[in-house]
Structure 1
Amino acid sequence: MKHAIELEHVTKQYREKKAVDDMTLHIEQGSIVALLGPNGAGKSTTVNMVLGLTAPTAGTVRLMGGSPRDRAVRNRIGAMLQEVSVIDSLKVEETINLFRSYYTNPLSTGELLRISGLEDDRGKYATSLSGGQMRRLGFALAMAGDPELIFLDEPTVGMDVTSRQLFWRTIRSFAGSGRTIILTTHYLEEADSIADRVVVVNQGKIVADGTLDEIKESTGSRHVSFTAGSNVMTNRLLGLPGVTDVQWTGRRVKVYGRDTDGLLYALIRSDLDIQDIETHKGGLEDAFQSLVGSPEAETMV
């Protein structure tokens, strides 16, 4: 399969700090990749190098077989960044038409207004939009050239629930058409619902890379929880087959292991005094916290 993005031993150094440290990453065409990491992990720096906004200190970056700075390559990509700059005197529709003029084969103005949910706001001055509306305008501008490769940087921040649902329905429809989508978000449930690959970055290095299931399973967050009676002891739980760890919170116990079905079977057969049993397969948030720390730190930097 062809690669949409290729990073080979890429480093970006700012004085004494390596924002990106010898990173090698290949992203296949048509995939949806969530790029996650805590504050200061190097995600923004990586994206900026891929977009050609900054040059690596060492290593090579290729975008769809060419340089990120080539005009022909730029004509095939769209980027929804955190900050959207608009011209004071232009209305929403005029702003969209201006961006359409930069591309060889743009989407129609009507289509861009529809997918961004801005049809009723087409006559407003862009500078008068709310934060959520501005994010939707940013999406319309990112899609103006009908891109093959789309970068979405914290795309739904500030959007209301209805706008967020429209946005993700649109992204899913585009994903089915063979486009490559790179997503950064601190809403881990969004990444969990759409990404087919997760790359976790910390301190400028890739610390995990795989499918959602692979990431979730690699961190050992699967467990069975229950309320413990008087005859439940940690040493007895650790002696059960498949148990890797035991954690107590008052009388509530979490027993960890890769096979939750096997754990549940072993617990039931153990004759231990337990009740209110629940199984937990582990989610992306659990995996992220295990890899890099508190998920609350997850922001694009």
Structure 2
Amino acid sequence: MVQGNEVLASLRGVYKRYGTLTALDGVDMDLHAGQVLALLGPNGAGKTTAIGLLLGLLRADAGQVRLFGNDPQQLPARRGIGVMLQDAQLPETLTVQELLRLIASYYPTPRALAETAALAGVEDLLRRPYGKLSGGQQRRVQFAIAICGRPRLLFLDEPTVGLDLAARRRLWTSVRTLVGEGCAVVLTTHYLEEAEQLADRICVMLRGRIVSDGSVDALRARVLVRAVRCQSQLDVMQVERWPGVRQALREGAHLHLACDQVEAVVRRLLEADPALSALEVKPAGLEEAFCDLTNPQQQAA
């Protein structure tokens, strides 16, 4: 994977308001060549506004937005990006190859049609009208359109919605290929497994601010919660009342605990049940870390 310090796009101290609502509150963000940035956050966090500014669809109220060193609304800058949005309105009567040739013609050095089709997995769809395709097939074509211009910066908004598992994994492989060529990717997704699989960097937004920016491991490290699993006959309701236990569940002979004082809880488990076995302690996954970070109580604290 080609990763460097080259900054392809950036937000610097950016503010954006809609009436009394502050969508972005002094956001700083860099997008680097050869890196996948997963932009996560609950609805209304500011993700769509941040991307709209980088695409040149919106203007900031304050701060600086740069795309390849230029204003994002300038044509030379916009020719360096590819975009796959959740909703795409495309001419339904054109065939897939006609669509790809049309879009590719807008770029200075597009990919060959066969190369684009192979990367996106649409070789079998080229002669078919776009409007006759299933939802999943149309998503694959939309990905092909996003990459046909050989973009240096690719925006993927929920790219695998509607795809089956095989198509999803194929898209992941294609994204890794593009990143290996030095392309930067901005990914928004509600599938945290997808972010965990693809992202070099996770940026979490909440109420218009960036509350975490770093690797998946760095995000997990910010979370104190750990998962504890063991075989025990202890009463699950009693264990759930112990200090340091956030949640306790029973699954057959196994106890599953979510703990924020894991050492104290493990010692008490061993003291309370000498017959305890199959003890496992695991760090928080990305889903647990994200939920903990965006929890209103945690934010208030």
Normalising by the smaller structure, the TM-score range is 0.7 to 0.9
Q: What is the alpha-carbon distance in structure 2 between the residues aligned to residue 70 and residue 110 of structure 1?
A: 30
Q: What SS does structure 1 have at the residue aligned with 2:31?
A: strand
Task: Show the counterpart of 1:201.
Answer: 205
The one-letter amino acid paired with 2:31 is I
Distance 1:265 1:52, change over 3 A: same
Q: Give me the CA root mean square deviation.
A: 2.7
User: Structure 1: which 5+ runs fail to align?
Assistant: 239-243, 295-301
- 1:292 Cα deviation (Å)? 1.6
Q: Is the 8 A contact 2:240 2:246 kept in 1?
A: no
Between the aligned partners of 1:225 and 1:267, the Cα distance in structure 2 is 14
- The answer for the alignment partner of 1:211 in structure 2 is 215
Structure 1 residues 23 and 36, CA, compared in 2 at 3 Å: closer, same or farther? same
- Is the 8 Å Cα contact of residues 234 and 246 (structure 1) preserved in structure 2? no
8 Å contact kept, 1:227–1:253:
no
Q: Secondary structure at the match of 1:209?
A: strand
CA distance in 1, matches of 2:235, 2:175: 52
- Whether 1:114 and 2:118 are equivalent positions in the alignment is yes
Q: Distance in 2 between matches of 1:245 and 1:265?
A: 10
The one-letter code of the counterpart of 1:48 is G
Query: Structure 2-normalised TM-score?
Result: 0.86
- Matching residue within 148, 156, 174 for 1:170: 174
Q: Which residue of 1 aligns with 2:259?
A: 256
> Using the alignment, how far apart are the partners of 1:115 and 1:15 within structure 2?
43
Matches within 5 A, 1:120-139: 120-139=124-143
CA distance in 2, matches of 1:39, 1:63: 25
Figure out how many residues of one structure are paired with residues of the other and give that number: 287
User: In structure 1, what is the Cα distance between the partners aligned to 2:125 and 2:273?
Assistant: 63
The Cα of 1:225 is off from its aligned counterpart by: 3.2
Amino acid of the structure 1 residue aligned with 2:216? L
Post-superposition shift, 1:88?
3.4
The equivalent of 1:289 in structure 2 is 291
AA aligned to 1:106 is P
Q: 1:271 to 1:14 in 2, by over 3 A?
A: closer
Residue type of the alignment partner of 1:218 = R
Q: How does 1:224-263 map to 2 (within 5 A)?
A: 224-226=228-230, 245=245, 247-249=247-249, 252=255, 254=257, 256=259
- Decide whether the 8 Å contact of 1:36 with 1:198 is kept in 2: yes
Query: 1:48 is matched with which residue: 37, 52, 56?
Result: 52
Question: 1:106-153 deviations in whole A, cap 9, x for unaligned?
Answer: 000111111122111111111221111111111111111101111100
For the residue of structure 1 that corresponds to 2:27, the secondary structure is strand
2: CA distance, partners of 1:179 / 1:218: 29
Q: What secondary structure, in the 3-state scheme, does the structure 2 residue paired with 1:137 have?
A: helix
Give 5+ residue unaligned stretches, structure 2.
297-301
For 1:121 and 1:269, how far apart are their aligned partners in 2? 60
**Identity rate, percent:** 36
8 Å contact kept, 1:246–1:253: no
Q: What secondary structure is seen at the aligned counterpart in 2 of 1:162?
A: helix
Whether the 8 Å contact between 1:106 and 1:144 is mirrored in structure 2 is: yes
Give distance in 2, aligned partners of 1:142 and 1:267.
55
Change (3 A) 1:265 1:292: closer
Aligned residue in 2 for 1:279? 281
| Aligned equivalent of 1:148, options 152, 161, 172 | 152
Kept in 2: contact 1:223–1:257 (CA 8 A): no
* TM-score after normalising by structure 1: 0.86
Change beyond 3 A, Cα 1:257–1:15? closer
